[in-house]
């Protein structure tokens, strides 16, 4: 009896889905029986978050990106609510793994279609792989288990490169994703504004127990908003990377259109993260500068509209005096405490990096230092300079490969931007994201974690859209291309 290959693949996929549907509840029950009541609750919530991701990865991978964005946005808030409901603060929580584990499901469609990856994408992946392998080896030797968590924060965002290389996104698919991104950002902003005005008890509980008094006090109008994210920095990052597309193109604004734009802007103001405004300005200017003449004027007018509305709205906001005072420090950078601290950090750390060219390895910088350190940040837990963080992590050799990979990425993006076609807006957005990520290295290393996920998502959308054009240029019949696209 002859059995076709497609039918065998379909049967295999069905068995895999059934296995997950039947096996996951059993795994949850077994794990819950072994864990404490606190960890059991976290485990059940984590499994509930992961299950839809597995289904989407198997059945509808294009929708998986929007779901992972939602998880990155709300998982920290779920963790705070879970801790508050128990009355126990956990410095290290299973729910902290939710965004990483959800993002890791991107590997499923990548492995399924890995034969489609092109040489250009393979070269980028190889360069990053060498840097990460080097950093991981040094990190395991010096930093122990913390390096594993930190390595996952690098790898999961980078999965977006092969994901977009094998999953063909049509323009309407990209627009739909950016539309969903905008809607998630608006929801984050609405909650952030509520947080600024009321400070929900679970957020106040977390601030007190996590010793996060550096972001204000848990009282209305006295808090630096972090909304549903971990802290003001990640919240501002999430909002900026959503806000740039919202300002630039009407089709990327989300359901509430310009009302949504203004809500995101207001919430971004309440985070009081000035470096986010610098990144946003760079991304907007790069996109506008690379646009055709007609597009430049349209984008500039929209930018002027947002600035004028901001000028009118901000003085009328509750607590406006503090917001205005914070933004005014941008005009007197030399007198700013944060600026002077970063300058001092550069002067003090550069000789240390030069004296240790091998590097400290992955897990030596950032949140990964909490693991194996009693939940407390390590010596380099707070590193307000991305270049120093990368050099300290990867050493001179690993950093060469890491920056070489970034160079390979921008080379591809420039080729796509200079090819004038209907998909050029996505390539320009990729260029803006790349420039924003590089510029933000003056304040932090944004390539691991949430920021890295947002950066590689916007870059991957532009690079993935080009794959369709290349197929057309090679003479592939239009109908065949459509069949290939819709099959993903």
Selection from 82, 369, 99, 37 nearest residue 206 by Cα: 82
Q: Which two tokens stand for residue 442?
A: 């003056």
Query: Smallest Cα–Cα separation from 127: which of 397, 365, 386?
Result: 397
As a whole number of angstroms, the distance between CA 230 and CA 284 comes to 26
Give the pLDDT confidence of 304-356 residue by residue, as tens digits. 777 777 777 766 666 666 666 656 555 554 445 555 555 555 556 666 766 67
Q: Are 454 and 234 in contact (CB under 8 A)?
A: no
Rounded to an integer, what distance in angstroms lies between the CA atom of residue 45 and that of residue 25?
A: 12
| 290/252 Cα distance (integer angstroms) | 18
Interatomic CA distance for residues 66 and 188, integer angstroms = 14
What's the whole-model pTM score? 0.82
One pLDDT digit (tens) per residue for the chain, 488 residues: 454 544 444 444 444 444 444 444 444 444 444 445 556 777 788 888 899 999 999 889 999 999 999 999 999 999 999 888 888 887 777 888 899 999 999 999 888 888 777 777 888 989 999 999 998 898 888 877 778 888 889 999 999 998 988 888 888 889 999 999 999 999 999 999 999 999 999 999 988 888 776 788 888 888 889 999 988 989 999 999 999 999 888 889 889 988 999 899 989 988 888 888 889 989 999 998 887 766 677 777 777 777 777 777 766 666 666 666 656 555 554 445 555 555 555 556 666 766 677 778 887 776 655 565 555 555 565 666 778 888 888 888 898 999 999 999 999 998 888 877 778 889 999 999 999 999 988 888 888 889 999 999 999 988 876 444 444 444 444 444 444 444 44
Question: Which residue, among 86, 94, 77, 84, has the nearest Cα to 39 in the 3D structure?
Answer: 94
At CA 61, angle to CA 55 and CA 64, rounded to 5? 75
> What ranges do the domains of the chain cover?
32-85+92-102, 120-486
3-state secondary structure of 227: coil
- The DSSP output letter for 358 is T
Burial of 33 by CB count in 10 Å (0-12 exposed, 13-18 middle, 19+ buried)?
Answer: exposed
DSSP codes joined into one string, 272-336 = T-HHHHHHHHHHHHHHHHTS-HHHHHHHHHHHHHHHHHHHHHGGGSTTHHHHHHHHHGGG-GGG-
CA distance 20 to 303: 48
Q: E strands along 323-418, which residues? A: none
Q: Give the other-Cβ count within 10 Å of 479's Cβ.
A: 8
Question: Measured between alpha carbons, how far is 480 from 168 in angstroms, rounded to an integer?
Answer: 13
> Which residues have CB under 8 Å from 424's CB, separation 6+?
416, 417
223 in helix, strand or coil? strand
How far, in Å, CA of 206 to CA of 90, rounded?
9
């Amino acid at each position: 009896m002859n059995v076709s290959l497609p039918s065998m693949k379909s049967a295999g996929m069905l068995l895999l889905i059934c296995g997950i549907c039947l096996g996951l509840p059993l795994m949850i029950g077994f794990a819950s029986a072994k864990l404490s009541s606190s960890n059991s609750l976290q485990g059940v919530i984590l499994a509930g978050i992961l299950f839809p991701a597995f289904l989407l990865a198997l059945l509808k991978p294009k929708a998986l990106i929007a779901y992972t964005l939602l998880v990155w946005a709300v998982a920290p808030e779920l963790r705070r609510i879970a801790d508050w409901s128990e009355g126990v603060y956990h410095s290290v929580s299973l729910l902290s793994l939710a965004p990483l584990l959800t993002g890791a499901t991107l590997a499923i469609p990548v492995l399924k279609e890995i034969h489609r990856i092109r040489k250009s994408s393979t070269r980028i992946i190889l360069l990053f792989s060498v840097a990460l392998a080097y950093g991981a080896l040094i990190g395991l030797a010096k930093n122990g288990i913390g390096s594993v968590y930190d390595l996952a924060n690098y790898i999961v965002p980078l999965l977006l490169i092969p994901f977009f290389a094998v999953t063909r996104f049509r323009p309407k698919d990209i627009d739909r994703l950016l539309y969903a991104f905008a809607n998630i950002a608006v929801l984050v902003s609405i909650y952030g504004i509520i947080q600024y005005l009321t400070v929900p008890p679970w957020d106040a509980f977390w601030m007190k127990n996590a010793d996060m008094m550096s972001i204000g006090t848990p009282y209305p109008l006295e808090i630096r908003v972090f909304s549903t994210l971990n802290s003001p920095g990640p919240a501002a990052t999430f909002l900026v990377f959503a806000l740039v597309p919202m300002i630039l193109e009407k089709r990327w604004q989300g359901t509430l259109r310009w009302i949504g734009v203004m809500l995101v802007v207001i919430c971004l103001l309440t985070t009081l993260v000035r470096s986010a405004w610098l990144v946003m300005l760079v991304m907007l200017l790069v996109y506008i500068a690379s646009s055709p003449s007609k597009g430049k004027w349209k984008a500039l007018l929209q930018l002027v509209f947002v600035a004028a509305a901001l000028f009118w709205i901000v003085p009328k906001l509750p607590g406006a005096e503090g917001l205005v005072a914070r933004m005014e420090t941008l005009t007197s950078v030399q007198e700013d405490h944060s600026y002077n601290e970063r300058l001092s950090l550069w002067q003090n750390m550069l000789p240390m990096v030069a004296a240790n060219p091998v590097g400290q390895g992955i897990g030596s910088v950032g949140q990964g230092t909490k693991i194996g350190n009693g939940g407390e940040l390590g010596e380099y837990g707070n590193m307000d300079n991305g270049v120093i963080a990368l050099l300290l992590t990867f050493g001179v050799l690993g950093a060469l490969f890491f920056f070489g990979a970034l160079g390979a990425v921008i080379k591809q993006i420039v080729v796509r931007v200079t090819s004038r076609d209907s998909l050029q807006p996505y390539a320009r957005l990729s260029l803006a994201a790349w420039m924003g990520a590089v510029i933000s290295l003056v304040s932090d290393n944004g390539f691991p974690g949430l920021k890295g996920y947002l950066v590689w998502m916007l870059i991957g959308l532009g690079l993935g859209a080009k794959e369709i054009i290349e197929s057309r240029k090679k003479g592939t019949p239009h109908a065949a291309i459509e069949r290939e696209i819709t099959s993903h």
